[in-house]
Structure 1
Amino acid sequence: MGKSAIFHALTGIYVEVSNYPGTTVDIASGRMDDLGIYDTPGVYGVSAFNEEERVARDMILEADIVVNVVDAAHLDRDLFLTQQILDMGFPAVVALNLMDEARANGLQIDVARLAEELGVEVIPTVAVRGEGIAELKEAIRRARRGRPTPEVASRLPEDLPQVDGVLWLEDDPQTCERIGRPGPGLREEMYRARRRRADEIAERVVSETQAGASLATRLSRWMLHPVGGLAFLALFLLLMYQVLGVWVAQDVVEVTEGVWMGEYYVPWMTGLVGRVVPVDSFLGQILVGEFGLLTMTVAYLVGLLLPLVLGFYLFLALAEDSGYLPRIAVLVDRLMNFVGLNGRAIIPTILGFGCVTMATVTTRLMGTQRERTIATFLLSLAIPCSAQLAVITVMLAPLGPAYLFTFVAVLLLVYGLAGVVLNRLLPGESSDLLIDLPPLRLPRIKNVLQKTFLKTKGFVSEAWIFFVIGALLISVMEQTGLLAALANGLAPITEGWLGLPREAAQAFIMGFVRRDFGAAGLFDLALNPHQVMVAVLTITLFTPCIASIMIMFKERGKRQGAAIWVADIFLAIFLGGLFNRILVW
């Protein structure tokens, strides 16, 4: 907001920097003629939630006049503090700084109307160029009290000074202790009233215009438009799918997994282990068999997952560094509210189309445990990873666009209904989307590459042990015959309820190992169009791969992870059979 620039413009070179008593917070002080001026820490409210706010509050309580520096480009955000200062009854002047940025953002501010709404003088400034500083110096001498928030003013107790009364209404612990009176429990009500007034004032005095707006500003508005924004998002997702789902997941992985790992690494490792342990032995199969720890696990991590993770984190870093990612969150926030999430959930959702394992880790972005639970369940149930999606697309493409449309529509329906049900059943409330929109800018390549490397490294370092555990479990099940027995046990359900060949049970079991293995197993079966639709929907809704399950247990805990896993299996089989009967009718 340029607060320090305003301070230096008012005080010139006569500045001292020292710690505020009893804290490590640096405070700058100086003089403007006969007035002492102090630069408080930058805060958005005086609520004593942290050391900076406590220092700012204590300094304001000792002030004779408050010069409130407001960011003209983010007026609605900064007016909360302005209104809080006016509620306390301090004589004030508002320095409406960064007016040049506001104009570049295509914003017109009715300064006279703003001054009338607040009841104090408002001086437009561009501090770094010295614009408005002379007028501000003169206005400081004329500082006066402004208009308080009506709901706050009507609740003020008559037996307390105005400042103490406001802080008491907000349950300020130090004020309550000093006056010997417990707070009334009205903090949230007072905050909401002040927030409403700040928003109402900003809405009255700020208007958007294309005149003077930069290209980035016009593009940003288009990205947030209900129609234009969705069109841009569709193009972004299409580009991401073409790059990651087609080029990386197929062409690049064909080289890294098929050639480098499949033709070179796996035979070399198999031969190396074979010199020490017979490959056909139990230990040999655990190490270098079909699901071997030293073969399949390494090939899966390095040859398949690593390129996908690198690609997705590169896209994520580009969207984040350019400022587009928070705009996606704002655009889809209202849609996500229906399933108990906010706009941030679009990030793990997008990532899920590349790798559900990685996306499950990113559910940490959500604000509450409730949201993380909903997001994790929806990812595991209704989001196909790129490797699986590639096989499914190949299976559905020959059937025509109607089948592909039906597949997408059913997944969207399941995603929406499951989210709505969880939103109603789970206790608690989801958090609101609180996010600042940074300016759109060209991404800095160094920042993008650094973020991509660090996030990829962090993911692999966390996830590799779970891949090893999953591969070991599946390998032992295969060697002991448990895998085949489980496949035979599923056969009656597969044939009787789902209407698929008995061999499809093996494909579902293989889906535990890797989702694309399961889809590929269905691809090898002779299925009619009806069975293809039932099969791809069931295996998509079916439990994610063992690596995703391991990560899900790590992130959500054993009890909740097990509940999600069992629910996935039940819903996949139930909905698959239900869809089988709907198609028959």
Structure 2
Amino acid sequence: MACHEPRLRLPFPSHLRKIVLVGNPNVGKSVFFNALTGLYVDVSNFPGTTLEINHGQVGNDCIIDTPGIYGVSSFNDEERVARDIILAADIVINVVDAVHLDRDLFLTQQLIDMGLPVVVALNMVDEAAREGIKVDHDKLAQLLGVPVVPTIAVKGQGIEELKKAVAYARPGHPIPELEEMLAPLLPKVHRRAETLLILEGDPWIAARHRLKPMDKREEIYLLRRRRVDELVNAVVQEDMSRASFRSILSKWMLKPLTGIPILLGVLYLLYQFIGVFIAQTVVEITEERIMQGYYQPFIQELLDPWLGQGPLGTLLIGEFGLLTMTVTYILGLLLPLVVGFYLSLSILEDSGYLPRIAVLVDRILMKLGMNGRGVIPLILGTGCVTAATITTRLLSTPRERTIATFLLAMTIPCSAQLGVIASMLAPLGPRYVVAYVALIFTIFVLAGTVVNRILPGEPSDLFIDLPPLRWPQAQNVLKKTYTKVALFLREATPLFAGGALLIGLLQVTGLLEVIQALLSPLTVSWLKLPKEAATAFIMGFIRRDFGAAGLYSLPLTPEQTLVALVTITIFVPCIASALVILKERGIREALVIWPTILVLAFLIGGILAHILI
């Protein structure tokens, strides 16, 4: 469908030749766009979307940038916009990353299969050389059937050559097996590009031609994957003896034999920083010394003459008061933890290591219903489940976010809770420590496997960029940390205040004691723990480490300690996490997650108690 046809209503001048920049995310398209257009840039909202598209007129040409895509399809607004602009193109400049040809040439081959005039900008050839990668661009041009220009866009190298090559843009060599598939449909559609998209199951393009989308997507994908592998094998040479140490380290991080020990080492450092230094040393100063030692006595002495011991005083300055517990938790406990976590996350992200962790564990997490991105909230959860639940937004689908949220709420103890658990298990000896870790890990795997099978759908494939490893930039790290911490505090503060108000109302009305009394038979008869353990579970809902700490003073045998700690770990997460789950997943999912975890905590704890005690 041509760009001047009214059904598309593209926001570009129809009389100009349209040169469209296309490529995967983060391949440098914006650098090329700025180099080609200079200051002659306009921005338009694409019809029917909120997406802004950059375009600029240079002579009789309209240079158009597109959102980064991995393939021409229609799964989201970015892809649909890119697809329609590509279909309207007179010439496509396909920017590819020389380091990741096996990924980027997939899109190149699809553009060629669509019959579009293409010129390839082989970008980042300097980065490829540093990683010991040499690309024979002349041979690649011969095999693709289109011009290929090596470039280093950030240094301006190859830009002039690319401008000249545009005049020689042409359709390349499509995959031969496609011709037989295209033949029956092409007379009805008349355009090769749209015919191919209909074969690949694009419902929007099929609807434009009043046809049903075909189901050849998987078959075409396999043909294209084989073709790209052949191209890469033919034109790419790797010489690791010339590669930098960063390149070698990057490859080590992706291989299980070397990547897993590296990951364990990084996790150990993270635990020492967040779980020991931040959660124990720093929080002891901010929460216990400053907030509980100075702030709470000050605010209670200031307001007690006005509020007294009545209901209002309990709600504002009582044990769970809005001006006592809420402020202390947010500033004394959450703020240091959240700063520590987002600082660590920003360092991992800016260094380029975080996406490598995702690739390393992708195959494992796929069995639990998530792709490799799921490791990010799971790692964060060992420090603060509340913050980690918010970061499940990073995952690709609602299904994966639900699985991650469930696993975080049920099986991941936060750093504050881990500190108390470690102090209770350490005197019992390594046998009980190993038993606790083995039990929680087994529950984690079983829970993920079961939820993966229950929820409809499949985990999404991992599409993630692997930027080069580098030393984190202090400015980037601090900016990311500040932005994420500020966002978290804005979202979490009202939730904490609401939670504190709810607990305060339960205390004022006497319902808190009623709940404790109702739980006592369950803890004594089923879990075989002292009746005082019921209070620990109530406190665990208010704050996880309070629940574990409530068990600390009880006279428990080693077996009872193990039962109690496993149960309190699985038990419904603290009220802050529960409220974040409600906000992130909605009331329907929250009302499924909370009761399910509550039942499973006591069920598993009781079974363990009857086995051990």
Alignment TM-score, normalising by the size of structure 2: 0.84
Structure 2 residue corresponding to 1:164, chosen from 175, 191, 201: 191
Name the residue aligned to 2:461.
Answer: 432
Q: Trace 1:78-477 onto structure 2 (pairs within 5 A).
A: 78-89=104-115, 94-111=120-137, 114-115=140-141, 117-119=143-145, 122=148, 124-126=150-152, 128=155, 130=157, 146-157=172-183, 160=187, 164-171=191-198, 182-186=211-215, 188-189=217-218, 192-193=221-222, 195-197=224-226, 199-205=228-234, 206-278=236-308, 280-477=309-506
1:531 Cα deviation (Å)?
A: 0.9
- The answer as to 2:55 corresponding to 1:55 is no
What are the Cα deviations for residues 425-475 of structure 1, in whole angstroms up to 9, with x where unaligned? 111223221111111122121221121112111111111122122122222
Whichever residue aligns with residue 125 of structure 2, its letter is: M
Q: Residues 235 and 439 (structure 1 numbering): CA distance in 2 closer, same or farther, change over 3 Å? A: same
Q: Which residue of 1 aligns with 2:99?
A: 73
2:536 to 500, 507, 510: 507
Q: Which amino acid aligns with 1:300?
A: Y
- Matches of 1:581 and 1:4, distance apart in 2: 64
Q: TM-score, normalised by structure 1?
A: 0.88
In the alignment, structure 1 segments of 5+ residues that lack a partner are 31-35
Counterpart secondary structure, 1:170: helix
What amino acid is the match of 2:451? L
8 Å Cα contact 1:75-1:202 kept in structure 2: no
* Gap regions ≥5 residues in structure 2: 1-26, 48-52
Is residue 169–residue 190 contact of structure 1 (8 Å, CA) maintained in 2? no
Cα distance in 1 between the residues matched to 2:133 and 2:190? 34
Which residue of the partner structure matches residue 22 of structure 2? none
How many residue pairs get aligned? The number is: 570
Q: Distance in 2 between matches of 1:139 and 1:208?
A: 30
Q: What are the superposed Cα offsets for residues 277-304 of structure 1, whole Å, 9 maximum, x if unpaired? A: 21x2222222222212211221111111
Going from structure 1 to structure 2, the CA distance change for 1:260 and 1:137 (only over 3 Å counts) comes to closer
The Cα of 1:262 is off from its aligned counterpart by: 0.9
Q: For 1:12 and 1:166, how far apart are their aligned partners in 2?
A: 27
Look up the SS of the partner of 2:241 in the other structure: coil
Say if 2:368 and 2:452, in contact at 8 Å, map to a contact too: yes
1:339 counterpart SS class: coil
> How far apart are the structure 2 equivalents of 1:87 and 1:162?
16
Which deviates the most, 86-95 or 337-346?
86-95
User: Mean alpha-carbon deviation: is it higher for 568-577 or for 101-110?
Assistant: 101-110
Task: Assess, with a 3 A threshold, how the Cα gap between structure 1 residues 301 and 138 changes in structure 2: closer, same or farther.
Answer: closer
Q: Is the 8 A contact 2:206 2:213 kept in 1?
A: no
Tell me the residue number matched to 2:511: 482
- Contact 1:534/1:579, CA 8 A, preserved across alignment: yes
Q: Select which of 556, 567, 576 maps to 1:527.
A: 556
Q: CA RMSD in A?
A: 3.3
Any conservation in 1 of the 2:282–2:336 contact (CA below 8 Å)?
yes
1-side partners of 2:157 and 2:501: how far apart? 68
State the distance in 2 between where 1:93 and 1:546 align: 57
CA contact (8 A) 2:279 2:337 kept: yes
Q: Which letter maps to 1:342?
A: N
Residue 508 of structure 1, CA deviation: 1.0
Deviation at 1:390?
0.2
SS of the residue corresponding to residue 303 of structure 1 reads helix
How far apart are residue 207 of structure 1 and its match?
4.6
Q: Which residue of 2 aligns with 1:561?
A: 590
Q: Deviations over 1:150-171 (max 9, x none)?
A: 4422211266399713422313
The CA deviation at 1:41 is 2.7
In structure 1, C-alpha distance between the alignment counterparts of 2:482 and 2:182, rounded to whole Å: 55
Residues 183, 168 of structure 1: CA spacing in aligned structure 2 closer, same or farther, 3 A cutoff? farther
Matched position secondary structure for 2:240 = coil
Cα distance in 1 for partners of 2:164, 2:544 equals 68
Change (3 A) 1:46 1:391: closer
When structure 1 is superposed on structure 2, of 476-485 and 161-170 the one drifting more is: 161-170
Q: Tell me what 1:579 maps to.
A: 608
Task: Provide, for residues 506-527 of structure 1, a one-character-per-residue CA deviation record: whole Å limited to 9, x for no partner.
Answer: 1111111111111111010111
Cα separation, partners in 2 of 1:504 and 1:443, compared to 1, 3 Å: same
- Alpha-carbon deviation of 1:482? 2.1
Once the two structures are superposed, residues 23-42 of structure 1 have per-residue CA deviations (whole angstroms, 9 ceiling, x without a partner) of 96424546xxxxx8775535
Alignment partner of 1:41 is 2:65: yes
Listed one character per residue, the Cα deviations across residues 242-298 of structure 1 (whole Å, up to 9, x for unaligned) are 1111111111111111111111111111111112021x2222222222212211221
The answer (yes or no) to whether the contact 2:523–2:529 under 8 Å persists in 1 is yes
SS of 2:65 mapped into structure 1:
coil
Q: Secondary structure at the match of 1:442?
A: coil
- Deviation of 1:418 after TM superposition, in Å, equals 0.5
CA 1:12–1:293 in structure 2 vs 1: closer, same or farther (change >3 Å)?
A: closer
Offset at residue 197 of structure 1 (A): 3.6
Determine the C-alpha separation between the residues in 1 that align with 2:273 and 2:46.
55
Instruction: Provide the residue aligned with 1:33 in structure 2.
Output: none
Alpha-carbon offset, residue 224 of structure 1: 1.3
Contact 1:170 1:190 in 2 (8 A): no
Letter in 2 for 1:257: E
Q: In the alignment, residue 336 of structure 1 is paired with which amino acid?
A: L
1:77 maps to a residue whose letter is R
